[in-house]
Amino acid sequence: MMIPATAGLVILSYPIIKVLFERYNFGPMDTKKVAYILIFHSLGLIFFGLLMILNRIFYAFKNVKTPLKVASFSIIVNFILDWILIKFMDVGGLALSTTLVALCNVAILIIILRKKIGNFGGRRIFVSYGKILAAAAVMSAVLYFLWRWLENFAYQGLWPLILLLFLAIVAGAGIYIACTILFKMEEVKFVVGLFKKLRKDT
């Protein structure tokens, strides 16, 4: 769920921040700045999730040193990227730097893990993630144009904005689920099988 959640946060970053924070001394310009930062942080959600999984795999092999060494290297890379990107992207550069470092960390750990245990179903994972990305891309495109239309009604107060944001999130989730069914993803088969098993048990 990290990929569709990331896509949703990127598309709806501005209205989400507006609903949560825009009041009193927190104005529209502050909303734009924080939404800008949220976009780059959101892109890192996928890699942060993968990083947690990969670290646990290494811990299962009783290998604590490798994740620690990679993390130490990542701190240096993070510092360098922070210094470079903040010059061009302001505070958004710091968020992007964190995301890029997480990506680098994941890539290094996958390479090391593959050397250690060999092929671990890379093609199957690639196909599965390809379908997830395709579903998230369709959801993002529809959600983008849907919100462009909905935001015409979003400036009549906080509660109408909350309602419209809720409708957009529900619509996005519905579109993503429809795409997963259309693309015949393994996750859908698993969930359907689980429901069938629960119905038999009851």
pLDDT digits (tens, 9 = 90+) for 105-130: 999 999 998 888 877 666 777 788 88
Check if the beta carbon of residue 98 is closer than 8 Å to that of residue 105. no
- Residues 186-196 as b/e (b if ≥16 CB within 10 A, e otherwise) read eebeeeeeeee
**Domain contains 62:** yes
For residue 131, being part of any structural domain is answered with yes
Q: Is 113 within a domain?
A: yes
Q: In the predicted model, what is the mean pLDDT of residues 1-29?
A: 91
Domain housing 3: 1-153
Three-state secondary structure call for residue 26: coil
Q: Residue 190: inside a domain, yes or no? A: no
- Amino acid 131: pLDDT: 87
Q: How confident is the model at residue 197 (pLDDT cuts 50, 70, 90)?
A: low
Mean of all residue pLDDT scores within the chain: 88
Whole-angstrom distance, CA of residue 149 vs CA of residue 79 = 41
**Is residue 59 situated within a structural domain?**
yes
Asked if residue 178 belongs to a domain, the reply is no
Domain-embedded: residue 14:
yes
- The model carries a pTM of 0.81
Domain count, the chain: 1
Asked if residue 186 is part of any domain, the answer here is no
